[in-house]
Structure 1
């Protein structure tokens, strides 16, 4: 569990009851644990599961100012002070993840069992390595296609933003005779009816999750709600008062910073961008929906890459020698029973291997089969990628020519 990526971390001070003194360090929060490490220390001074917390409070006294106390179920009490950027921001994040852990507790899963059939595994890995070597070039080519598609998607997203901004420049709101009166009337009427449509479910509410958020340039974090709709994103406070609505076409970029933190931005000309930073324990369940809706505008940073569907299906994830042996396909086959055939049974009987070793061997054999099937699937995906790249290039060239003509008219 020590390898968990922190959701958030803050500089602070921790009170040592035994020594009766404050020590500086860093408080870090993961999806399941709360930890504190002193400055220049290699190990955590405090490390416990969120489910073991019975209470989180804001406290202060004549000796302790602006502190957060965390009470464990065994009555162990922890004091954290000098929190940066401020106590309220840290408290809101801690309380959010603690409550989500209580509402949907997840038992700690044990580490994967180590292989007990080393000898049999070594026999099978020779063939596995040879097959992986022959498919490595194919997978590398697939990575290059993925990179090309990513760049083309960014170009298309930039073209969409340019199109929206050019529309603003072509019909500025301060020009009394600009725009289409009928269009403005239709837009106004649609806004007036949007609230009633929403109550009747016509807008397609997909999911609503609890969050803590901040609105740039204010970095203080507050509790609220995020609603994902078919045509928009809505951010509301904890009393369900709507604070901002991002129409789907107005989202210029959506960045997944970690699996539990995103930033949504809408850009403008002549006034500040509208940017919201959102943190939630439920975001890992929502990220696939956002990627499906805003794929060309959504960017996954390094710590959030594992939550991307493209990353999980990328050739590099399948082609490395460190393939995961506990995939759903292999587990399903292993659970279905031993391999049929007299030859496999004879080998197991002659070697007198245990059941766990036989299962591990079956996993490796199925991995070989899976590699071959994935190589075939990769060829089909690359054929589709080539067609998509060709279409995307044509669209980009057409869009660039169109925007160029519009900009020349403005000049």
Structure 2
């Protein structure tokens, strides 16, 4: 039996790489052997959500079911002649009900991410056409970034270049990272996503060297969209960092790389996302750095319906009405809607385990999930209202103010 330490390490690895199905299934096997069947069942559900026909995952789910029924963790035999579940028949049953999955028959939305591509720099095959709704945001991206870059002769005629970066801000879970990937796809450029852990290091000087390596990698792979997520954590206001000289140096290093005198950032398009733009150092928003800001608000009706489709597209569903769900989720972020879909799927799976037969996710499951889940963006908008009211003297947040006015959030 695996030790607790091994299981902890595997759990941490799965959290870091949730798309690694085989690693997750190995963890499920060890959890079943340990007797942690409920936890194993959760991971098994996540694996089947990614690959509903995975034979190993189906076999492990059978073992979980048997363990729950008997109160013990069974061994992993190759064949279980006395199994309570006939999974071959169950798979055929699932395939029969996938056909009429969505009642309105619209096309599915595909995110286009290659699961086998583990390079930090990769081509993006997502474009703005794959982003449902959000027309105002797309138009801003076209005018402020994509249009000039697509017309280099026009830039030459006006003697301007594509220097500077673009900062997307808004409530969490609303698709800022997906939009950055779409921008890379529109430009036919590589996409390099950078998180906090890629920059911030333990030892003095390592963070600055990591930042320099990141920009060097982007320059070597130009044209490249270099995307910084949660940039407020890397570029915090230096006035608030009086007791953290290390972070002040990181901010200075980021400023130097964005507006460098020793290297050329030609072909490197720097995008960043933040939930808290008011915490970003003002020097990062001066010309030549993140000199353009775009507000990314909550998904509109069309986008919400597409998010429902995307999150249920590989699961056994029956007569789900995405348009109806979209109408009932006004005020929900994209992450909230994904949580509704996951919860509905878990409810259907629990019912299948109780009944001993597979049944699809139905609107009744979605209804039950909606009773449990509330929009999560409220606290963000509370802060945003205060910023618009008391800290918008220079007009930085006029776009946010107009959004709040249209949504009657002020």
Q: TM-score range by the shorter chain?
A: under 0.3
More strand by proportion, 1 or 2?
Answer: 1
TM-score (ref. length: structure 1): 0.23
TM-score (ref. length: structure 2): 0.23
Of structures 1 and 2, the one scoring higher in RCO (CA 8 A, sep 6+) is 2
More helix by proportion, 1 or 2?
Answer: 2
Radius of gyration: which is bigger? 1
